[in-house]
Amino acid sequence: MIEPLSAHLPNPDFDVRAPGRVNLLGEHVDYNEGIVLPAAIDRYVHLQAAARSDTTVDLTALDLGQRISFDVEDLQARQLPDWARYPAGVAWAARQRGLTVSGIHAVFTSTVPIGAGLSSSAAVEVAFGALWNELNGWGLSRLELARLCQQAENQFVGVNCGLMDQFASACGVKDHALMFDTRSLEYEPVPLPSGTALVIADSGVRRTLAGSAYNQRRADCEEAVRLLQMHLPAIHSLRDVSPEDFNRLALYLPEQVRQHARHVVEEIARVQQAVKYLKGGDSRSFGELMYEGHASLRDLYQVSIPELDALVEIAAHLPGCLGARLTGAGFGGCTVNLVLEEAARTFAQSLAQEYHTRTGKSAEIYLCHASEGVSLQKA
């Protein structure tokens, strides 16, 4: 049993909670300047901290049973354990921008599962970013804070992620998804259907990625743009290609490039349609788009695996399920299910049982709701 934070830091100055996130629609479109539809979820990184008078950061990761200290004026990723690179990266990125970073005593825990595709790392970054933003008076907006945390992950941790994860953790709105334009960085909260829950099913398969497969798909998208520019010279990314133009010009693309690009073009159109359905309260049509998105990720983008397909197939036949799809990069991780609240607990139990029967694997099921973004209170 993990001890409470107060057992390790009796007199904190700040109490911070930063949520994980799930992406409801718009997968693998962020690096194509598309529109995504994430939601913050009510599973959190919980951080308590007290200010220090020097530049030392003293961190305790309760879940891991590990503690480390480092100086913000001498930050080197290779000298830190993996988990500590996320808060250290935020301090590093802030100093790169000329911002003051104070020393702290900090202890944190998390209910966001690690490695499941629910952005546990982004939640850690955003929690520490919000803490230092308040402690040092940076004055960053939530979107600016998310961009700082993305810089930390890209340039210090060394993961070339887009902005969606940090954005959702920083800017989440209770009971809403966020329509986020990854090109303009404009966003709009979109209401999720009342009386529904987000049930997240962890397949138990960890993404091995996927580095090479992910990079190949990015390269195929870039190649599609290069070839399509011969016919559509004004385009800059697949975001600029309509489904109609793509269908007209698809014959000019090699088969693999064509399949991968088709997913992106059609997925961006799905998000645009999904927003209309959500605003109109049409939850069943939105759910159908989730199923379509999964089929596209499975058949065109080819990032699903049998375990994720099994979770979606089982969910589709259970009472109360409006839609289901893999969420995240694929090759393992989770599915997200939009389920009527009244059926959610029975749905979760049935999904876990039938998944085990079919695959022999155990799935962790999380019954979630869309939550507020990062919150901070002075203790």
Residues tagged in the binding site annotation for Mg(2+): 121, 153
Question: CA Rg, the chain, in Å?
Answer: 21
Return the half-sphere exposure (C-beta side, CA atoms, 13 A cut-off) of residue 82: 6
Asked if 169 and 374 touch (Cβ cutoff 8 Å), the reply is: yes
In terms of Cα–Cα distance, which of 199, 200, 172, 197 is closest to 371?
172
In terms of Cα–Cα distance, which of 278, 317, 313 is closest to 298?
313
What one-letter code names the amino acid at 353?
A: Q
Query: Cα(106)–Cα(90) distance, rounded to whole angstroms?
Result: 14
Query: Cα(158)–Cα(88) distance, rounded to whole angstroms?
Result: 13
Asked if 290 and 283 touch (Cβ cutoff 8 Å), the reply is: no
Q: Which helix (H) or strand (E) holds 293?
A: helix 283-299
Which residues fall in the annotated binding site?
27-30, 115-121, 153, 214
Asked if 337 and 217 touch (Cβ cutoff 8 Å), the reply is: no
Phi then psi dihedrals of residue 282, to 5 deg: -95, 80
State the angle between helix axes of 85-96 and 120-135 in degrees (0 to 180), rounded to the nearest 10.
Answer: 50
- State the catalytic residues: 165
